[in-house]
Amino acid sequence: MKILAVCGSGLGTSFMVEMNINQAFEELGVTGVEVSHSDLSSAAPGDADVYFLAKDIAESGEHLGEIVVLDNIIDMDELREKVRKLAEDKDLI
């Protein structure tokens, strides 16, 4: 499965989210997931199976496909919860 962390502009925020997603999967013991990052203008449908976006850009990213919306991109508890739910939904755990 491929995941793309997407931010509005630049790549700093999306890179941080990418690292946190990787950490959350590692904590769950999930392997074989490819996580990368991009800015919104560069992200395209088909780049990933699932896209993680901040709440403020979620509407602009709806065209990408399956999205996971983060209400607070620095809240690790929220991220862990959403990664766990995704892993369960995709039968990874």
- Confidence class of residue 54 from pLDDT cuts 50, 70 and 90? very high
- Confidence class of residue 89 from pLDDT cuts 50, 70 and 90? very high
Q: How far is CA 46 from the centre of its chain?
A: 14
- Spatial distance between the Cα atoms of 14 and 33, rounded to a whole number of angstroms: 17
Q: What is the pTM of this model?
A: 0.95
Average pLDDT over residues 45-71: 97
Q: Quick check: 11 pLDDT over 90? A: no
The pLDDT value given to residue 38: 95
| Residue ranges per structural domain of the chain | 2-89
| Pure H helices in the chain | 12-28, 76-89
The pLDDT value given to residue 32: 94
Give the sign of the dihedral formed by CA 78, CA 62, CA 29, CA 24. Answer: negative
List, in sequence order, every residue forming a beta bridge with 7; answer none if it has no partner: 39
Give the CATH superfamily of 2-89. Response regulator (3.40.50.2300)
